[in-house]
Amino acid sequence: MLKRAFSLLFVTLLTITSPVPVSAQVPIGVLLDYEVQTYDQPPLLVEGTTLVPMRGIFESLGAEVKWDGINQKVIATKRNTTVELQIGVQTAIVNGISLTLAEKPQLVNGRTLVPLRFVSEALGAEVEWDGETRVVWIVSAEQRLLSSMRVGDLETFESLLHQGSVELGWKNETGFNLLHFAVEYGAEKPVVNEMMRTLLKKGVDPDLQTRGGVTPLMTAIVSGNEEAVDILLDAEADIHVKDNNGRTALWLAAAHDHGSIVTALKQRGDTETRTPSVADAQTEEEIIEILHYYVMPTILSDGTDPDIGAMLQLTFLSDELRDEFMKLSMSGKKQFVVQYVQDHWGDLPHDRIWDVLVTDYSQWLIGTDVRYGMNPEDAKISDFVHGDAQ
């Protein structure tokens, strides 16, 4: 239904913008992964076969193209797939195997046109022709692989990888790669975690980062996919990588209350020594994440009763306190946090939690000079801790 609606819209636009008379036949449209393709030579329909410029179609599908002008032959390569086509010859060669074409490649207005369906399918794509709207739909091998992961279709997934046309280093516009998507889908469909193992065995880099610097391991942590975390750690994902905000995998695991993942990362030798500071925060959300970072490791490393830890989380992150905390200045200056702690943390319902958090960790957390047994209201900004405190 969506395809048909998009096709009709596309055709309407073509009709409006086309310089040809209204009575003329509607031009052939080509869409690859829902993106309109434009060519310097319009597609032609010859005896039921759509022909398009060879460089345009091959390169849009991720293949490298070489032109043999002497023999009028094009050679396109994408990973393990090589396609050879020759002008005027109705036989193509794919990975050394000769195959018959529905229509010969042709030279039109100085451009080499090749059969769109044959080329696309040879490179792992799926093609659908809408005769009513004269639109060709192409789904690339990479999008087909993503679709197979989204629905947990292991057979299609393995078939596409076996064909060898999927670009394993593929990324979308935000930098998310195949592993990032596998991690997210695997949180809902465990079979996708096995697909992720396969991608890693095929050589996909476990440390590929998005534009924001997020690694698949970080995505697994945020989504709570513990199995994916274990798989990525077994693949030796770098646990020390930082995103664009300076956050590590351990930082995120603590910030999102994933205690078992924190333990796993520490067991793998996370030696991150730089502790995040509220002074570095740019938004209230980042301040909350930083406070989470200190709260969870404290509970875990001190062996505090998990029920007490949960009580602390409920108390500290109650709706009322969260709302007040969100009112903090976006400057992230520590005096706002110190005042907040003085105003609220003294009301925590368990003395031991207060002692552990403030006595043992306040130096790193808020830069206050606190001594054991001190009344929270007496905590002051230290003159010697964090000289940049304001």
363 has pLDDT over 70: no
What residues does CATH 1.25.40.20 cover in the chain?
A: 140-261
Q: What is the rounded end-to-end Cα distance, in angstroms, of the chain?
A: 59
Whether 59 has a pLDDT exceeding 60, the answer reads yes
| Tens-digit pLDDT profile for residues 323-349 | 444 444 333 444 444 454 545 444 444
Closest-CA residue to 281 (of 240, 314, 325, 312) = 325
Give the pLDDT score at 3. Answer: 53
Beta bridge partners of 52: 114
- Please give the mean pLDDT across all residues of the chain: 75
Mean pLDDT of 154-176: 93
Residue 233 has pLDDT above 80, yes or no: yes
pLDDT for the residue numbered 288: 56
Residue 326: enclosing H or E segment and its boundaries?
Answer: none
Per-residue pLDDT of 37-54, as tens digits, reads 999 999 999 999 999 999
At residue 369, the pLDDT reads: 43
Determine the average pLDDT of the residues in 156-180.
93
Q: Which CATH architecture describes the domain 140-261? A: Alpha Horseshoe (1.25)
- What is the rounded CA–CA span in Å between residue 66 and residue 63? 10
Q: What is the mean pLDDT of residues 276-282?
A: 57
Q: Name the residue with higher pLDDT: 42 or 354.
A: 42
Pick the CATH number of 2-139 from 3.30.457.10, 3.30.300.30, 3.30.2350.10, 3.40.50.300: 3.30.457.10
The set of residues, in sequence order, having a beta carbon less than 8 Å from that of 303 and lying 6+ positions away, is: none
**What's the mean pLDDT in 70-99?**
95
Exposure string of 154-177, with b = 16+ CB inside 10 Å and e = fewer, is: eeebeebbebebbbbebbeeeebb
pLDDT level of residue 271 (50, 70, 90 thresholds): low
Q: Is 122 helix (H, G, I), strand (E, B) or coil?
A: helix
Residue 138: per-residue pLDDT = 97
Q: Does position 308 have pLDDT exceeding 80, yes or no?
A: no
* Average of per-residue pLDDT across 356-381: 42
93-149 confidence digits (pLDDT tens): 999 999 999 999 999 999 999 999 999 999 999 999 998 999 999 999 999 999 999
**Residue extent(s) of CATH 3.30.457.10 domains in the chain:** 2-139
Express as a percent the part of the chain with pLDDT over 90: 51
Residue closest to 388 by CA, chosen among 281, 279, 283, 306: 279
Tokens representing 262 are: 């924190």
Q: What is the pLDDT of residue 346?
A: 46
Convert the pLDDT of each residue in 197-226 to its tens digit: 999 999 999 999 999 899 999 999 989 899
